[in-house]
Structure 1
């Protein structure tokens, strides 16, 4: 860490932010720019921003060694206390919070609250290594300046907050119920119609179909019935607020073995598109619910298939670091806009204005994935893939 902040870099960075805001750009891309600026100007190993809403927070932007923590939930107890800026020795924070950053050679976290009016929108953090000295008053002042700029972005109300507080009013609840009915009827109609059609064909044309025709009809009915069962599970899970419901007890499990088995359970057409890019043997055990891997992988690969060309592969890889095991599902599809990487996890949300003609679906898959992963003290994130497409990354604690 330099003795003084890099003021020329700070000036250049602020000019770049102003240019983007004056050009009409706001939201998560500009926020990410300010987080990167905090790391560079202060000579930190990494930086991150946690947005607060509905009694908890979430890491929505990060750089450097903090980047793997994007998507991780931050509990109420981990918020910065009263003072606007605070230096925290990392060995004094709780284990769950410390695991949000990668590597075991970090010494200090310097955090500043980001406020708009009387509301705390979130907190900006930078992390320093063991070889760095203690941040001085100038470092505190620069971080408070950048935190104030983030607070101003939230005050503009354009693209931020990424996770708005839930509306408790009756009209909002009725709108949710109406949307639930519409989505449910839309999603159930197709498999039910196909099953009924083939069942009627078997009933009315049993003799004329012949053995091959009857076998094909039964095969389609079986596939659609399985699809219907999975859909009902998803809809019921989305409707439930019981975070502890269902599933086998958590415990150590072999992530690579679970992923290989989950691939074999995918529908045949989807399974043929999945390429096992890097699934190394001998990884440490993950800790969580092994049975959930099949559902999580199905949702992520189905999403990748839906938004990518029919002949392009969906890549699956796995790896580890000091505290977590991870797997990634990558595609070469339409990609995801930076401002949508968090909104995509909202219930019923879809890109393209919810256009179900181009990308049919309930908008529940990623919402359910995040719920399942967070029940196991893990986290999930999306990001644009270099060269085009999207990367979905899931992290679980090491056993």
Structure 2
């Protein structure tokens, strides 16, 4: 005979079970009533609701999605089997039904079963996983190559063998919106828009070479199925073949500094004809930049261009007004660099300063942009030195 305490415990549990069951039935009936209209308007109810990975627009991303779903259903099957056995055992082999637990020790059969069955599952899962990983690493037979270099906090894209290179920064509108809540309300693609898109042709196998100029970055575009670290001093590679024209957005996926959240990626996939048209336009821009380095600029033109370059390149550290960040980044206003020897000013902008966050902009900016921004720094932001820097001076200093 069970003790009185055990009987009272079972009675309490039975009452609790009855109460919980009744509440579950009420919630179920109530949820069915309120969820009924959703079945008549599924697109309205679930338009922005997703629980799964996207399939993407490349074979790589679709293979990753297929592997994910394979592993998911394997896990579902294991969960159903394990929890099914557990629930069945709790219901039909509980003590109140007179079940007596089996007593065995060092069963060879059981040990073999719980070793060989998981091993078989792992091998079955490893086959498709290995196939996907090998495909991810195979960058052979590329139709074109793009070198991607991470900077704090922007990306440089170089089209190998095409003579085209440019930087991609967060747009000025988006930068201003970070400190102005009113301007970012309703803004489309907040913190995900750049001034220069990475334009690629559809249907071409594209190899990406990734590195960094300073710290570790990570180039990640979800719809392309590409996420690769950009490490200083090393080159990693990845590939993609985009099937559908469109705009695909990504971000730096490695914490790389205070403006890590402000270096998005925008890939624009075009048809072959449209891509060739764009490529021709970029080559003309490169020629125009080279020609601009050989002319003499007026102070007005230098100041106008310098303000644009400063806003996109320098303001993130030294501040829009040149006040800097005390204890972190020095001010431009009244600085001994911006008001002192002009050659020292040119040198630090061109070559950076070792041991500090001051980057070398010699490879990042053209002669005309460097001349303009140095002129702007010496004659704006509270400074009024009065001297000008011409692109020819920068060219000679290189």
Normalised TM-score (structure 2):
0.20
Q: Higher strand proportion, which one?
A: 1
Higher helix share: 2
After TM superposition, the score normalised by the length of structure 1 is 0.20
Structure with max Cα Rg = 2
